[in-house]
Amino acid sequence: MNDSPIYVAGHNGLVGSAIVRRLRADGASNLLLRSSKELDLRRQAEVERFFAEQRPHYVFLAAAKVGGIEANRSRPAQFIRDNLQIQTNVIDAAYRNGTRKLLFLGSSCIYPRLAPQPMPEDSLLTGPLEPTNQWYAIAKIAGLKMCQAYRREFQFDAISAMPTNLYGPGDNFDLLESHVLPALIRKCHEAKLRHADALEVWGSGTPRREFLHVDDLADACVFLMRQYSDEPPINVGWGEDISIAELARLIADTVGFNGELRFDRSKPDGTPRKLLDTSRLTALGWQPKIHLKAGLASTYEWFREHQGQSRR
């Protein structure tokens, strides 16, 4: 794979940039990278032209419209439209232009709101989705089904990975758009600088989430690209979850904010619990390495170095 042309779609995002780091560390010499300004993946003609000209052998499809609970809730049309357009254009153009293998990235929110915990891949489509992110989830379900359909009908080697909640360098720290972990890093940091006596945490603090460092995810993506070729999606997670209240305390300790945490119950909790069953991936021989405490410390360091440039 190292000398082949590899297209990482979404290389400026949290996931895509981690996949690029991982491939470069491995000696990949022919990476194809295009920013969204250079190539708008929502435009079919642009995507077809790019694939016809470049003919990548391998494609990591990490481009997506993503965001936290509030971004998902408030912009349902953009989440369903952009994701359906991006993934449909890229999967189809890859198949038509001789791509040998494509990895599609989904999300743990594809599983039912009240799926058994930890959530096995087989719980897909067994119950209603979480309303706050159903639009994003439907698009991601369509993407993994499209990969399965192209395998069956066209023998196209398209596989899917379903990561849990991710974090790490290059994340979005915008307070309205972001996921909980970067939002709380920023809130704690700013509260510490202001010597504030309290900060606001959305919701009740009782929902449980699992957090995986994006460098672990990137490692799993490269592993799956090399080792896995089958229809079922593969969950990628850490294996343990914590409550939002516990996460907030851990982040406050990491940042050095000693004030009070105030829970704003007028904000949505979302899914009560989201822990992936990763036994399929473990059986293939892959394990994550970066513990949450260490990952939080290095992500906070990254935030402090880059906050001027981080997306707000």
Instruction: Report if residue 207 touches ligand GFB, rule: CB under 6 A.
Output: yes
Residues with Cβ within 8 Å of 195's Cβ and at least 6 positions away in sequence, in order, are none
Task: Give the full edge-to-edge strand order of the sheet including 242-243.
Answer: 242-243, 208-209, 273-274
Residue from 65, 147, 73 nearest 103 by CA = 147
Helix (H, G, I), strand (E, B) or coil at 116: coil
Burial 169-194 (b: 16+ CB within 10 A, else e): bbbbbbeebbbbbbbbbbbbbebbee
Residue 262 β-bridge partners: 200
Verify binding: residue 254, ligand GFB, rule CB under 6 A: no
In the bound state with ligand GFB, the residue whose beta carbon lies nearer, of 202 and 300, is 202
Residue of 165, 235, 278, 299 that binds ligand GFB (CB under 6 A): 165
The pair of three-digit structure tokens given for residue 166, joined into one six-digit string: 């991710």
94-113: contacts with ligand GFB (CB under 6 A): 107, 109
Least distance to ligand GFB from the beta carbon of 3, Å? 34
Q: How many alpha carbons fall within 13 Å on the CB side of residue 254?
A: 27
Stretch that binds ligand GFB, among 11-19, 54-62, 128-136, 285-293 (CB under 6 A): 128-136
Q: Does 183 bind ligand GFB (CB under 6 A)?
A: yes
Binding residues with ligand GFB: total (CB under 6 A) = 26
β-sheet bridge partners, residue 9? 61
Contact between 203 and ligand GFB by CB under 6 A: the answer reads yes
* Residue among 191 and 244 whose Cβ is closer to ligand GFB: 244
Peptide bond into 118 cis (omega under 30): yes
CB of 38 to ligand GFB, least distance (A): 26
User: Cα dist. 54→4, 58, 260, 268 in Å?
Assistant: 11, 11, 54, 44
Looking at the Cβ atoms of 136 and 300, the one nearer to ligand GFB is 136
136 is catalytic: yes
Catalytic residue among 136, 150, 167, 228: 136
Encoded tokens for 59: 């494609």
Q: Contact with ligand GFB (CB under 6 A): which of 15, 18, 201, 225?
A: 201
* Residue 174 binds ligand GFB, judged by CB under 6 A: no
Considering only 85-93, 189-197, 228-236, 269-277, which stretch makes contact with ligand GFB by CB under 6 A? Answer: 269-277
130 Cβ neighbours under 8 A, 6+ residues apart: 109, 113, 137, 270, 271
Of 107 and 310, CB closest to ligand GFB: 107
Closest distance between ligand GFB and the C-beta of residue 282, in Å? 21
H or E, element range at 279 = helix 279-284
Q: Which of 65, 113, 179, 280 binds ligand GFB (CB under 6 A)?
A: 179
Give the whole-angstrom CA distance, residue 60 versus residue 101.
9
Span interacting with ligand GFB, options 91-99, 115-123, 197-205, 210-218, rule CB under 6 A: 197-205
What is the distance between the terminal CA atoms of the chain, rounded to a whole angstrom? Answer: 36
Query: What amino acid positions are annotated as catalytic residues?
Result: 136
Q: Which residues bind ligand GFB (CB under 6 A)?
A: 68-70, 72, 107, 109, 132-133, 136, 165, 178-180, 183-184, 201-203, 207, 209, 244, 267-271
